[in-house]
Amino acid sequence: MEMKIREIKTILTSPGRNYLIVKVTTENGITGYGDATLNGRELAVQSVIDNYLRDWLVGYNADRITDIWQMVFRGTYWRGGPVFMTALAGIDMALWDIKGKRAHMPLYSLIGGRCRDRAAVYYHAHGTKRDELIKRAKEMIKTGIKAIRYSFDIKDMHDQNVFYRQPHQDIKIKRIETDAIKNEGMWDSEVYIKNLLETTQELRNAVGTSMELIHDVHGRLTPIQAARLAKELEKYSLYFLEDPVDSNDKNGLQLVRNNSSTPIAIGELFNTIFDCEYILTNRLVDYIRVDISHFGGITPVLQISNFADVHSIKTAFHGPSDISPFAHAANIHIDLSIPNFGIQETFETDAVLEDVFDLPYCYKDGFITITDRPGLGVGFNEEAAQTYRYKKRYLPILRDDMGSVHNW
C-alpha cells in the first residue's frame, strides 16, 4: 500500500548543543524523525532541505526508502559533500523511523534482528592537566566503563600561558564551546607527540590492562610523524589510534599501517562509500568510523558495514554530542544487528537534552542497549524544542607557532 509523503519540516533546537531535526509526515499521519545536524553548518543543511529536497520529495511513496535515497543521491548530479549528505541522512532516518512505526517494529528488527544483546561503548575522558585526566579515568572505571577515549591540554614548553587544546566530548569536565572563530588556538605537533607518549604511559600504569585506551589524533600529524607515534604506542596496547593522518591522505595512512601494529580507526569525515573503498579494500584500518548523520543515513551505513565485514574490519561509529539522539539511536540499532560491530562512541547525557528528547537507550557497566519501541524509538517534544533557540557557532581554528593554519 502506498504511503505518500505529505510534509517535510526542519526544526532547529539547541538544548545544550545545536541540532537540526527533520520531521517527515505521511498522508495517513505517520510521523518520522531524523537527524541532519552538521556542527557549525546547520543553516546550510536546513537550506538544502527546505529549498531543494522538500518540494522534490513531497508526494513520493515513503515506503520506497532505497529508491528515494538513490534518486536524491544520483539525481543531484553533484554528489556527496557534508552539507548535502547530512540533509539526505536526516530524510533517510525519518523514513526508516516511519517504516518501523508502520510495522510496529524497532529498527533493528527491520534490518535483520539482533546479533547481540548489548553493545560495548566508550566515553571521553579529558583533563586540562595529566593528573586530572588520570583522576577522571579512575572515576569512569568505578562506573563500569571498560573503554575510554583520552585527551588532554598541553602547556607550551616555552610559554606557560599558551595551551595546546585537544577536542573532546567529556561534558562532565566542561560543555564544549564551538564559537571559537575569533579565538584561534595554537598547535605544536612535536610537543603533542612527546606529551602523548608520556601521558599514555602514566595512564596505562594508573588504570592497568583492564581499561581499553583510545586516542584521537584528529588528523593533526604528517604521515611520518604518525608512523613514528603509532610505533611508539605499540607497547601500551591501544584499542585503536583514531585519525592518525588527514583522512584524505590514503598514501599517508598506508605509511602508518606499514610501520606499526597499533590498530587504526578512521572515517568520521567520510561522506560516501566511495571515500572508504580504497582503505577498506586494502585493509588500511581495523575500525571504520563513519558518522551516520554525515554519511547519508541508515541506508548507506548498512552498506558500508557489510563491505567492511567482507574485509574483516569492525565498526566503531562516530557518536559525539553534536549529533542528536535520533542519530545515536540509529547507531545503536545498527550496532545490535550487524555481525562486525566493534565498539560505539557515545557521551554522557544531561537533563537539558532529556527535556527535549525521550531517550530509548540506556547505559550499564560499559554497555548500551535499546528499547523495543517502534522505529528509532526516540520521543521528541517539539514544544520544548522551540524554547531552546538556535545559537550560531563556529568550529575552532588552529595555527602553528609561525602563524600557519593547522588541521583542527
User: What CATH number is given to the structural domain containing 86?
Assistant: 3.30.390.10
pLDDT per residue, tens digit, the chain (408 aa), is 689 999 999 999 999 999 999 999 999 999 999 999 999 999 999 999 999 999 999 999 999 999 999 999 999 999 999 999 999 999 999 999 999 999 999 999 999 999 999 999 999 999 988 899 999 999 999 999 999 999 998 876 556 566 778 888 876 665 444 455 667 888 899 999 999 999 999 999 999 998 999 999 999 999 999 999 999 999 999 999 999 999 999 999 999 999 999 999 999 999 999 999 999 999 999 999 999 999 999 999 999 999 999 999 999 999 999 999 999 999 999 999 999 999 999 988 888 999 999 999 999 999 999 999 999 999 999 999 999 999 988 888 889 889 999 998
How many structural domains does the chain have? 2
One of 33, 108, 150, 164 is an active-site residue; which one? Answer: 164
Instruction: Please indicate, yes or no, whether residues 224 and 329 belong to a single structural domain of this protein.
Output: yes
One of 52, 60, 218, 311 is an active-site residue; which one? Answer: 218
Question: How many Å apart are CA 380 and CA 368, to the nearest integer?
Answer: 20
DSSP state letter for 340: T
DSSP state letter for 234: G
Instruction: Please indicate, yes or no, whether residues 150 and 233 belong to a single structural domain of this protein.
Output: yes
Instruction: Please indicate, yes or no, whether residues 199 and 293 belong to a single structural domain of this protein.
Output: yes
Compute how many other C-beta atoms are within 10 angstroms of the C-beta atom of residue 197. 15
Instruction: Please indicate, yes or no, whether residues 35 and 99 belong to a single structural domain of this protein.
Output: yes
Q: Look at residue 155 in the predicted model and tell me its pLDDT.
A: 72
* Number of residues assigned to the chain: 408
Kind of pairing, strands 19-26 and 31-35? antiparallel
Establish if 284 belongs to a structural domain: yes
pTM: 0.95
Q: Which amino acid belongs to residue 220?
A: R
Establish if 262 belongs to a structural domain: yes
Q: Which cell numbers in the block locate residue 142?
A: 568505578
Q: Which domain holds residue 216?
A: 119-376
Instruction: Name the 3-class secondary structure at 312.
Output: coil
Instruction: Please indicate, yes or no, whether residues 51 and 133 belong to a single structural domain of this protein.
Output: no
The answer to whether 93 touches 22, Cβ cutoff 8 Å, is yes
Q: Is 218 a catalytic residue?
A: yes
Establish if 211 belongs to a structural domain: yes
Instruction: Please indicate, yes or no, whether residues 94 and 159 belong to a single structural domain of this protein.
Output: no
Establish if 408 belongs to a structural domain: no
The answer to whether 120 touches 344, Cβ cutoff 8 Å, is yes
Q: Is 123 a catalytic residue?
A: no
Compute how many other C-beta atoms are within 10 angstroms of the C-beta atom of residue 177. 9
DSSP state letter for 79: -
- Give 41: exposed, middle or buried? Use CB within 10 Å, 0-12, 13-18, 19+: middle
Give the CATH number of the domain where residue 204 resides: 3.20.20.120
Q: Look at residue 165 in the predicted model and tell me its pLDDT.
A: 82
Establish if 389 belongs to a structural domain: no
Establish if 391 belongs to a structural domain: no
Instruction: Please indicate, yes or no, whether residues 100 and 131 belong to a single structural domain of this protein.
Output: no
Question: How many Å apart are CA 366 and CA 140, to the nearest integer?
Answer: 9
Establish if 392 belongs to a structural domain: no
Establish if 109 belongs to a structural domain: no
Instruction: Please indicate, yes or no, whether residues 319 and 369 belong to a single structural domain of this protein.
Output: yes
Degrees to nearest 5, angle at CA 103 with 355 and 302: 80
Instruction: Please indicate, yes or no, whether residues 68 and 127 belong to a single structural domain of this protein.
Output: no
Instruction: Please indicate, yes or no, whether residues 93 and 130 belong to a single structural domain of this protein.
Output: no
Q: Look at residue 181 in the predicted model and tell me its pLDDT.
A: 62
Q: Look at residue 183 in the predicted model and tell me its pLDDT.
A: 74
Instruction: Name the 3-class secondary structure at 376.
Output: coil
Instruction: Please indicate, yes or no, whether residues 184 and 42 belong to a single structural domain of this protein.
Output: no
Instruction: Please indicate, yes or no, whether residues 135 and 87 belong to a single structural domain of this protein.
Output: no
Q: Look at residue 178 in the predicted model and tell me its pLDDT.
A: 47
